[in-house]
Amino acid sequence: MMLDALGVGLLGTRTTVFNKALKYSQTFTADQRSSVWGRSDLTLPPHYAAFVNGIAVHSMDFDDTWHPATHPSGAVLPALLALAETMPSRPTGLDLLLAFNVGIEVQGRLMRFSREAYNIPERFHPPSVVGVMGSAAASAKLLGLSPAQCRHALAIAASSAGAPLANAATQTKPLHIGNAARRGLEAAQLAQIGLEGNQAMLDMCSGFGVYYKDYSPSVMAHSSSGVFKWILEEQDVAFKRIPAHLAMHWVVEASLAARRKLQNKEGSFDVSRISRVTLHVPPSKYINCPFPDSEHQARHSFQFNASSALLDNKVTVASYHPAQINRSALKELLSKVEVQTPEDNRPSFDHMYCQVEIETTLGLSYTARCNTFYGHWRKPLSQEDLVDKFQANASSVLNTEGVEGLIHVVGNIERITDCSDLYSFLRRTSRCPEQELYDYARSAAS
């Protein structure tokens, strides 16, 4: 999870939304400074480093997804790295790993207090709700706060939680994770100097319960009781292979399978011979976007991802560039796509499926269904493919020494005595950031 978050975060430093947030954050100064990922000589005040690095992780919707639904790593890792870099006594790799796990665990525990949280969200973007709590918990752990201070940190963080789902598919959505990282770190540091909140925050309907219609907290087993288990031991995360909303992975795999059937029968895929494409998907308003006009809408569109897979026989990072979105052939295919939401197709990442049916002008039909895509927790990525994803993402920003160094440090994190190497490798860029942004814009235009 840490390696994947670093990889997608490094790739995300090439995006427009990251660079806008970075420009804003550079107006702030402080005595303490923390690294900006993928920038060799740029630092920011710790809260703003956590903010922009968190935005980078989610800027392309390429980060991990859990069940119940949230993006767990992006709110936690940027906060921890920004904090660790400023601590008088540098934490060990094991300290960092334990704090990271605490941040993930708190998110998982809070979501399991609600059945609503198990479905694709309808009101709040989950990382803005539980992500800030995970960031606060992880930061509190790394700071070594007392139990009372930890309760205050979570109470303070809860007052910064919650972002409306209406900002999904916009440039503001990545800010949800950036803000979660920043505000969680801030909450822990405020609690450290004595700021207090309601210590019953997690037990009250008027507390954390405001974010869920059916919030019902329960007492968790004490870690010394012998029955405590990390949630990650029983519920793995999903790692994405394309930079898009998780549900898009089902529709892409089903579309590619249906395309293969058509091509095996007819020899080629010709848009002009397609009369209709029907998608059987779960109901969800914010990922039903028939004609996206931006990369962020495209990442949240069943129709776009199906059409892109059918037209190109692949979906990649480049698929979401404006030039690709605005192709006439793609728009022609989009006009032929229909969405249906069968009653048995539940809006849950643990139960949903996608079925794609292609109908031709000759009256032939080709259908394929995806129940579990490769990368889902039921069908996890191999370690080799996970590392390959990281290398592809990180090498767009870092030199070979930086890429390989991060793989080594993260792979041996529990044996690292000083986390300084992490920051060092994150700064070993291959080219200047201005050239990176220029190349990204040029590739988008072409």
pLDDT, one tens digit per residue, over 207-219 is 999 999 899 998 8
- Counting as low any pLDDT under 70, the low residues of the chain are 431-446
Q: What pLDDT digit, counting tens, does each position of 378-395 carry?
A: 999 999 999 999 999 999
The single-letter code of the amino acid at 166 is A
Residues 6+ apart with CB under 8 A from 410: 2, 3, 6, 422
pLDDT recorded at residue 445: 45
Instruction: Give me the pLDDT at residue 255, please.
Output: 98
Centroid of chain to Cα 49: 18
pLDDT recorded at residue 435: 52
Indicate the fold that domain 246-370 takes in CATH: 60s Ribosomal Protein L30; Chain: A; (3.30.1330)
d(CA 10, CA 2): 12
Domain ranges of the chain: 1-239, 246-370
pTM to 2 decimal places: 0.94
Alpha-carbon distance 351 to 342, whole Å? 13
- Predicted pLDDT of residue 377: 96
pLDDT, position 196: 97
CATH number of 1-239: 1.10.4100.10
